Structure 1
Amino acid sequence: MPSEQDPDRVPLRSQEWFGGSDINAAMHRSWMKNQGVPDRMFDGRPVIGICNTYSDLTPCNAHFRELTEQVKRGVLEAGGFPVEFPVMSLGETIVRPTTMLYRNLVSMEVEESIRANPVDGVVLLCGCDKTTPALLMGAASCDLPTIVVSGGPMLNGRWQGRTVGSGTSLFEMSEEVRAGRVTECEFRAAEGAMARSAGHCNTMGTASTMACMVETLGLALPGNAAIPAVDARRRLLANESGFRAVAMVREDVRMSRIVTRASFENAIKVNAAIGGSTNAVVHLLALAGRLEIDLELDDFDRAAKGVPLLVDLMPAGRFLMEDFHAAGGLPVVVKELGDILHTDALTVNGRTLGENSTDAVAWDCEVIRMVGEPLLPDARITVLRGNLAPSGAVIKPAAASPHLLRHTGPALVFEGMDDFRARIDDPDLPVDENTVLVLRHAGPRGFPGMPEVGNLPLPKKLLQAGVTDMVRVSDARMSGTAFGTVVLHVAPEAAAGGALAAVRDGDLVALDVTAGSLRLLVDAEEIDRRIAAAAPPLPPETGYASLYVQHVLQADRGADFDFLVGRRGAAVHGDNH
């Protein structure tokens, strides 16, 4: 029989379903019992929802069945009731046209799944690029006690006696194939070497970056960011996370109590120190919007100014995530940054960010540098503004070519990726190493979905001539595993009436990263005239893509839906009978 709850405990929302003796409570318990759930599980113990993004079509998360069992075990050990529920899984390497089109959709599914069901707290199982922000955004809008378990990176890739990283080495070798320096047979042989175990990208791409972000934000246990997927310690972390989730419910430690403005400033600074992905910008902005925390694009420039690059990982460096873990992982970075961070920020284990890193030891000072010997003295993602990006654009100087960080060159414009692919290898393409490649209609509305195509492949004839980088400007994103002098997230995008729509072949585009400037050297009146005459792509008329185009915000606001911004809580009224 149900026992009386401790009057000092936080009221459990799950008891609105399972408590009492009326017909609805009986129905809720009865149907759960057909899975072999005993009556004692409804006696007032916390119900922990395990939000699982497992899918065979999401290779990064394909090992989550095992992790889920570990989380369940931890919940049971702590006296909780674990219940697993699935949500749409976004495989970055598989999904077309782009996973970013569906990030907001998954966040809606997560939010409504949490609210509609009898869960008191949630464990978010995420790993692949968009699964982390999507789950965080949905959970933030409900604001229940929440803890994250990332899936972990793959083991280091090895091929022909050298280290190869997923994504980064793929991009490098693809260009070598196009230039004729690597055969297609060699390229095919390298595929398996780059992805030789379960887990997400082993470079500091978006998946690894977001795992670092959740640990820095305080939403995951120490070590979450870097433990390899196949390391037994990843399973232990999952178990401990499930165990801790129960206590978080009993202590009413909600996401809004953990994540503050200071937490976001910490994340921005750590992203600079690890050489993290530019994708973190749109995801952190969107999450802040859900939590109703004031965060702006310019904060990524201001907060991280002077933060050094400490982690020597691809694509900005040499090593991979397995090496990062062996060197001490994120706690070492936090400890080394010290007072640069708000070390008093609270985390899910009840300790502060600083306390969690007190005992951290740097075991390899090549992989994780000390502040006095950084790879770069200022590694922030730089925000650019000017008449070409009045609402902002971003560039990652750590992954760019120093000689191109101040550059003026003639534009060569591509009207979307179909146009680009059709012409880029044309031997008569009017292009040289000084040309600025401009891609438009690849933003949130224009594609739609803002794909990772901003790191445009270089023209074949220039690759064959030995050119390795060019300035590229677009309203798109790029993979966190990519590199190059690439200006991204231009806002407003061309399809929203941005100045990118006004650029014509031969116009001079001026980039000055030190000055934070991106300009089109054309008279203002002429720019306005061209924008007025531009014809953006026709938007989808039906289906989810139509909803997306109607409601998506621009990149400088996180590309969330306008109607999803903010916290709505987990209260739900009425019953189904």
Structure 2
Amino acid sequence: MAAKTPSELRSARWFAPDDLRSFGHRSRMMQLGYSEADFRDKPVIGILNTWSELNTCHSHFRERAKDVARGVLQGGGLPVEMPSLSVDESFTKPTSMLYRNMLAMETEEMIRSHPLDGVVLMGGCDKTTPGLVMGAISAGVPMIYLPAGPMLRGNYAGKILGSGSDAWKYWDERRAGNISDKEWQGVEGGIARSAGVCMTMGTASTMTAIADAMGITLPGASSIPAVDSNHQRMGADCGRRIVDMVWEDLTPDRIITEAACRNAAVVAMATGCSTNAVVHLIAMARRAGVDLTLDDLDALGRITPLIANVRPAGKDYLMEDFYYAGGLRALMKQIEDRLELSCLTVTGKTMGENLEGAQVYNDDVIRPLSNPVYAEGSLAVLRGNLCPDGAVIKPAACDPKYHVHQGPALVFDSYPEMKKAIDDEHLDVTPDTVMVLRNAGPQGGPGFPEWGMLPIPKALIKQGHRDMLRISDARMSGTSYGACVLHVAPESYVGGPLALLRTGDIVRLDLPNRTLDMLVPEDELATRRAAWQAPEPRFDRGYGWMFQRHVTQADQGCDFDFLQSDFGRTAGEPDIF
């Protein structure tokens, strides 16, 4: 039953009044070729499209926007496509994470400043999901998220390749001299062969699964491969559904609740999620006024088994296999006793209703609870004198022998310094060495780059070693793997304890007890702290200048302090027309 009448539509404020301003709005719509029958008394739906010719993950979005528009028209609304910042992972330097908050700001202001009654958010590549969703939550109009979908499996010489994960693996083999230039070129040409996001359970598929589990996509939409015709139909379904959501006044605050965020976290753990999920999920939740913390995520991780056998945490399969095995609905059905099934979703139905009839078609891809890939969830949160505000590790993706480890630190102050050193075959390093990269956090990176999967030194690669303990205040790609401790907070650039560590200091990781410490006497640390000097600012002007002054630390979600829900007053939309 409709909760709104045509006169209560947000767009009616632009088009309905008999005054000079609305005359201008109506005349400009007519300039675009519309008649009043096209835009009066019907919802105007913004299609926020993050397509770009340099965003490989979204290369199908030009066409998909047409599918959405078709659905909007069928539902009785007016579709208007609007370009949004295309935060691509492949080409953006120094890191796409620098621009997630810019996309969130743009999304919020695009919605707020235009006559939109509802929006379809088109994203998928890593930072586009949280960026779009954060902005739409703050704007508050009905919204539905359309995930880009994973690309097809990679293939080379009869071997199935997973984007990112196999790139790291084959790169190490090339550095060791085990594969030829021709073979390397073959991998290069076969690892990414269709539109869509990474087909491993990297950050892109993690974040779209989180959106799905939050209830802001159509049920199971996150699993559909980008080039499958089901994805086209899903696009049109999004268009039809958003029109109904406008009439129902089904706004994000009714969907993204504390229980919905908990559902998203549980599902993330069960999928073998990217470590980046921690930063983005905290930021998304806090935009909705939900105080999600690192400790909350660690507690859920301890009781949630990993059941998606998808690389890199899983060993055998990719997202295409996951979809054919039943997709996210099937996985959620397996763990429905751990979910809050009464949560409302964009369908207007509960999560429990959306999961009715879901089935697993391959129980090696989506494991039963009695046979998990890993007994606990995908992520663990560490604390100690190296990371008093927390750090993150992905236990299932690293060699178990490093779950408890102690060794001497080898510290690098910059990425170029580290990159140069690892190719020195005479580098003083052993398998027990703990490699450390600092000044790579939110402010120090700048922008929190994905440098945390530090390459194994060539000296160890040639000895046959493929993992070692690594620590940084950086992030790493969701397609990465290994014994990598990430997101050390506070970061070294702002004077966090990592800034005090020196080469040769002994570092101890105790994963079962969730601790990470440097075994250095407190009086020595106090001396080092007194001698520490803050580095020069990374930026002197522009967006970067604003970023470094207002971005929060990793444990707080790296949102801008002035965009969080508890900053200042909620002014609403002033009547300035």
TM-score class, shorter-chain normalisation, is: over 0.9
Partner of 1:54: 51
State the Cα distance separating 1:569 from its structure 2 match.
7.2
Q: 2-side partners of 1:119 and 1:542: how far apart?
A: 33
Runs of at least 5 residues in structure 2 that lack an aligned partner in the other structure: none
State the Cα distance separating 1:20 from its structure 2 match.
2.0
Q: 2-side partners of 1:405 and 1:347: how far apart?
A: 38
Write the letter of the residue equivalent to 1:247. D
Give the secondary structure class of the aligned counterpart of 2:486: strand
Q: CA offsets per residue over residues 440-473 of structure 1, 9 Å max, x none?
A: 0000011110000100100011001001100000
Distance 1:504 1:117, change over 3 A: same
Partner of 2:177: 180
State the Cα distance separating 1:184 from its structure 2 match.
2.3
Write the letter of the residue equivalent to 2:542. G
Map 1:63-462 to 2 at 5 A: 63-317=60-314, 318-462=316-460
Partner of 2:576: 574
1:20 lines up with 2:17 in the alignment? yes
Q: 2-side partners of 1:388 and 1:210: how far apart?
A: 28
Q: 2-side partners of 1:147 and 1:570: how far apart?
A: 21
State the Cα distance separating 1:427 from its structure 2 match.
2.1
State the Cα distance separating 1:570 from its structure 2 match.
5.7
1:562 lines up with 2:561 in the alignment? yes
State the Cα distance separating 1:288 from its structure 2 match.
1.4
Write the letter of the residue equivalent to 2:517. R
Q: CA offsets per residue over residues 224-262 of structure 1, 9 Å max, x none?
A: 111100000001011001100011111111111001111
User: Are the counterparts in 2 of residues 454 and 488 from structure 1 also a CA contact under 8 Å?
Assistant: yes
State the Cα distance separating 1:7 from its structure 2 match.
7.2
Q: CA offsets per residue over residues 314-353 of structure 1, 9 Å max, x none?
A: 1012101100000000011111002111121111001111
State the Cα distance separating 1:8 from its structure 2 match.
4.9
Q: TM-score, normalised by structure 2?
A: 0.97
User: Are the counterparts in 1 of residues 426 and 459 from structure 2 also a CA contact under 8 Å?
Assistant: no
Give the secondary structure class of the aligned counterpart of 1:304: helix
User: Are the counterparts in 1 of residues 317 and 365 from structure 2 also a CA contact under 8 Å?
Assistant: yes
Give the secondary structure class of the aligned counterpart of 1:163: strand
Q: 1-side partners of 2:252 and 2:454: how far apart?
A: 38
Give the secondary structure class of the aligned counterpart of 1:298: helix
State the Cα distance separating 1:267 from its structure 2 match.
1.0
Write the letter of the residue equivalent to 1:132. T
State the Cα distance separating 1:6 from its structure 2 match.
9.7
Partner of 1:493: 491
1:507 aligned residue (500, 505, 508): 505
Give the secondary structure class of the aligned counterpart of 1:377: coil
Q: 2-side partners of 1:337 and 1:376: how far apart?
A: 14
Write the letter of the residue equivalent to 1:467. H
Q: 1-side partners of 2:509 and 2:4: how far apart?
A: 63
Q: CA offsets per residue over residues 333-386 of structure 1, 9 Å max, x none?
A: 111002111121111001111221120111111110011111111124101000
Q: CA offsets per residue over residues 149-196 of structure 1, 9 Å max, x none?
A: 011110111111111011111111111111111122211111221111
User: Are the counterparts in 2 of residues 141 and 569 from structure 1 also a CA contact under 8 Å?
Assistant: no
Give the secondary structure class of the aligned counterpart of 2:167: helix
Write the letter of the residue equivalent to 1:444. P
Q: 2-side partners of 1:110 and 1:552: how far apart?
A: 18
The CA RMSD measured in Å over matched residues stands at 1.4
User: Are the counterparts in 2 of residues 345 and 352 from structure 1 also a CA contact under 8 Å?
Assistant: yes
Distance 1:406 1:346, change over 3 A: same
Partner of 2:30: 33
Q: CA offsets per residue over residues 103-148 of structure 1, 9 Å max, x none?
A: 1111111111110000011110001001111101111111111100
User: Are the counterparts in 2 of residues 390 and 492 from structure 1 also a CA contact under 8 Å?
Assistant: yes
Distance 1:77 1:114, change over 3 A: same
Q: 2-side partners of 1:270 and 1:10: how far apart?
A: 40
Q: 2-side partners of 1:340 and 1:44: how far apart?
A: 43
Write the letter of the residue equivalent to 1:64. F
Q: 2-side partners of 1:467 and 1:7: how far apart?
A: 63
Give the secondary structure class of the aligned counterpart of 1:437: strand
User: Are the counterparts in 2 of residues 19 and 42 from structure 1 also a CA contact under 8 Å?
Assistant: no
User: Are the counterparts in 2 of residues 115 and 572 from structure 1 also a CA contact under 8 Å?
Assistant: no
User: Are the counterparts in 2 of residues 285 and 295 from structure 1 also a CA contact under 8 Å?
Assistant: yes
State the Cα distance separating 1:212 from its structure 2 match.
0.4
Distance 1:456 1:187, change over 3 A: same
Q: 1-side partners of 2:162 and 2:492: how far apart?
A: 34
Write the letter of the residue equivalent to 2:187. A
Q: 2-side partners of 1:517 and 1:24: how far apart?
A: 62
1:545 lines up with 2:507 in the alignment? no
Q: 2-side partners of 1:357 and 1:532: how far apart?
A: 57
Distance 1:18 1:6, change over 3 A: farther
Q: 2-side partners of 1:37 and 1:423: how far apart?
A: 62
Q: 2-side partners of 1:252 and 1:136: how far apart?
A: 18
User: Are the counterparts in 2 of residues 305 and 380 from structure 1 also a CA contact under 8 Å?
Assistant: no
Runs of at least 5 residues in structure 1 that lack an aligned partner in the other structure: none
Write the letter of the residue equivalent to 2:576. G
Q: Number of residue pairs matched?
A: 571
State the Cα distance separating 1:523 from its structure 2 match.
1.2
Q: 1-side partners of 2:403 and 2:543: how far apart?
A: 39
Percentage of identical aligned residues: 48
Write the letter of the residue equivalent to 2:85. M
Q: 2-side partners of 1:10 and 1:503: how far apart?
A: 63
